[in-house]
Amino acid sequence: MFLSYPFIVFLTVLIFLYYVLPKRCQWFLLLVAGFAFYAAADIRYPPFLMATAFTVYGAALWIGRCSQKTAAYRKGPHKEGEAPSRQEKKAFRRKMEKKKKRILLLCLFLNIGILAFVKYTNFVIDNVNTVLEHTGRQELSYIDFIVPLGISFYTFQAVGYLFDVYWEKCEIQKNFLRFTLFVSFFPQLVQGPISRYSHLSQTLYGKHSFDGKNIRSGLERILYGCFKKLVIADRMGAGLHVLAEDPGHYTGGFVFVGMIFYAVQLYADFTGGIDITIGIAEMFGIQVEENFIRPYFSKNIAEYWRRWHISMGTWFRDYMFYPCSISRPVKKIAVFCKKHFGMGAARRVPVYTATMLVWLVTGLWHGARWYFVVWGLANGVILLISEELTPLYQRFHQRFPGLGGSVCYRAFQVFRTILLMSCLRLFDIYGSVRTTLRQFVHMFTQFGSHPVTGEELAGLGLSRADYVILGAGVLVLVLVSLGGRGGSVRETIRRQPYAVRYTVYVSLFFAVLLFGVYGQGYDVRQFIYNQF
């Protein structure tokens, strides 16, 4: 949606109005724009968004009122002789806690229910039909649902706010329209990041004066996002599409080629989309949190997941992993394990249980397909194996103390992480557990029998020029990532002399214009994460 002429016109008009209209109207203008943007995608989407905004807003207010009552009852002032006893205060607090929990659960049931209903009903029907097919009974009909764009993102964002209010970790937004803006802020509506209210609200409702720096900075970020998406991701995607459509032919070494193609495509696509999101927000003077910190330079999978799609990772950590790990039933199991199996088991059981639960849900969050479930669980298993192997690594490093700090070993760790993550993504490439497992085996068993030749690579629909552009594009990505370790690359460019600075901007602009994958009859591919 971002990469279309109507959107460019929409954004230009919006920025003009945003800075021309009185500042007190700015947030309202963004709210209207958000709904216009969403309705333009499909007029049936906004009611879903409104349902989430309305229920979460109402539940948060109600929960907040319970918290206020508890505080007022505890602190007073109370009339002389009517001050509640310590026991009465405790009883009142417990009563209010129960009430808060009921409201929270009801609201979660509604919102996660909507998400689950529209996204997973056909998945359930599909599985039921598989069973019915074997028993010879009549199969169920599929339901033609509308799945609102970005429903997983805005539902998680709203639910995160609700949890924060429940745990009294953020202020309550009492203005319904302002809250609706938080849920519907259009740059991040369809592919995240999943913002936290405490962070986004700091700039979302502010009065912003026109600042050329914000516009320039936003445009730089958008331009780089377009470069990633149009020059690299969509070009790579075209080749990958050919490869994934014919797994029987593109086997052996081509499975490995597909893995690498997808690693580059997904990174360029998703980070490119987030660059555009952050850039658009910047032009309105609004700060959206970073969602990636050079993930492909991670030393292990755990670190990778702390640096890739950060807002989703921290959401699962804060609202599912830790609450589950320290929940009463899990604690009881931990106590039981300590008593019967020792401290080692007591330490592992809560964390391992929560890890597998989180990865199961993460898989399902990505899509209603078995291969996503397997992908999620495989991530969880690898994380647990990696945790179990930690003492082994420690002993290894004690035996070879100088190795850990060496560049070679660091490079080995980075490549190992990239390869491991790329292997797991084969599920996403082939969209089937069976095909993925077969292709994975073929990658090793048929590597030599189906060599990757120049002719075969050309058969993927990419010319020599395309490969040169991709090589150069990936080099730019690597250099920018490496440059980002010491601070903002954009700041470094801004400090350069005028001629150097504008050469970079103009080169990037023409790279997008000349090498971007578009043209007459070409439909810019949807961002991969839009589908979630």
Partner 1 sequence: MNEKEIRQGVLTVLQELHEDIDYEEEEALVDDRILDSFDLVTLVTELGEEFDVEITAKDFIPENFNSAGRLTQLVLRLLDEG
Q: Which residues are near partner 1 by CB under 8 A?
A: 86, 90, 93, 163, 166-169, 321-323, 325-326, 328, 331, 334-335, 338, 343, 346-348, 350-351, 354
- DSSP string across 180-238: HHHHH-GGGTTT-----HHHHHHHHTS-----HHHHHHHHHHHHHHHIIIIIIIHHHHH
Number of C-beta neighbours around residue 228 at 10 A: 27
- Closest approach of partner 1 to the CB of residue 489, in Å: 26
- Closest approach of partner 1 to the CB of residue 342, in Å: 12
For partner 1, the closer of residues 133 and 388 by Cβ is 388
For partner 1, the closer of residues 216 and 338 by Cβ is 338
For partner 1, the closer of residues 208 and 348 by Cβ is 348
Report the amino acid identity of residue 229.
K
Helix segments in 227-369, DSSP class H: 234-245, 253-283, 301-307, 310-316, 322-325, 328-341, 343-366
DSSP-derived 3-state class of residue 86: helix
- Closest approach of partner 1 to the CB of residue 387, in Å: 8
For partner 1, the closer of residues 70 and 439 by Cβ is 70
Burial of residue 8 (number of CB atoms within 10 Å: 0-12, 13-18, 19+): exposed
Report the amino acid identity of residue 70.
T
For partner 1, the closer of residues 74 and 501 by Cβ is 74
DSSP-derived 3-state class of residue 1: coil
- Closest approach of partner 1 to the CB of residue 287, in Å: 22
For partner 1, the closer of residues 216 and 307 by Cβ is 307
- Closest approach of partner 1 to the CB of residue 377, in Å: 19
- DSSP string across 453-470: -HHHHHTTT--HHHHHHH
For partner 1, the closer of residues 346 and 418 by Cβ is 346
For partner 1, the closer of residues 108 and 524 by Cβ is 108
Contact 142, 125 (CB under 8 A): yes
For partner 1, the closer of residues 160 and 516 by Cβ is 160
Q: In this structure, what token pair is assigned to residue 108? A: 């979660």
For partner 1, the closer of residues 168 and 289 by Cβ is 168
How many Å separate Cα 162 from the centre of its chain?
A: 19
> In sequence order, what are the residues at sequence separation of 6 or more whose Cβ sits closer than 8 angstroms to the Cβ of residue 143?
121, 122, 125
- Closest approach of partner 1 to the CB of residue 363, in Å: 20
Contact 52, 114 (CB under 8 A): yes
- Closest approach of partner 1 to the CB of residue 41, in Å: 35
- Closest approach of partner 1 to the CB of residue 321, in Å: 8
Of 331, 359, 329, the closest CA to residue 346 belongs to: 331
For partner 1, the closer of residues 163 and 315 by Cβ is 163
Q: In this structure, what token pair is assigned to residue 101? A: 């929990």
Of 19, 48, 54, the closest CA to residue 35 belongs to: 48
For partner 1, the closer of residues 169 and 485 by Cβ is 169
- Distance between CA atoms of residues 193 and 274, nearest Å: 7
- Closest approach of partner 1 to the CB of residue 325, in Å: 4
- Closest approach of partner 1 to the CB of residue 69, in Å: 16
Q: How many helices (H) and strands (E) does the chain have?
A: 24, 0
DSSP-derived 3-state class of residue 257: helix
- Closest approach of partner 1 to the CB of residue 457, in Å: 44
For partner 1, the closer of residues 158 and 351 by Cβ is 351
Q: In this structure, what token pair is assigned to residue 465? A: 């020029």
Please, which contacts does 162-166 make with residues 24 or more away whose CB atoms are closer than 8 Å? Answer: 162/56, 162/59, 162/60, 162/63, 162/104, 162/107, 162/108, 163/104, 163/318, 163/319, 164/196, 164/197, 164/198, 165/60, 165/63, 165/64, 166/63, 166/100, 166/104
- Distance between CA atoms of residues 33 and 47, nearest Å: 15
Q: What angle do CA 255, 256, 260 make, to 5 degrees?
A: 115
- Closest approach of partner 1 to the CB of residue 353, in Å: 10
Contact 160, 192 (CB under 8 A): no
- Closest approach of partner 1 to the CB of residue 355, in Å: 9
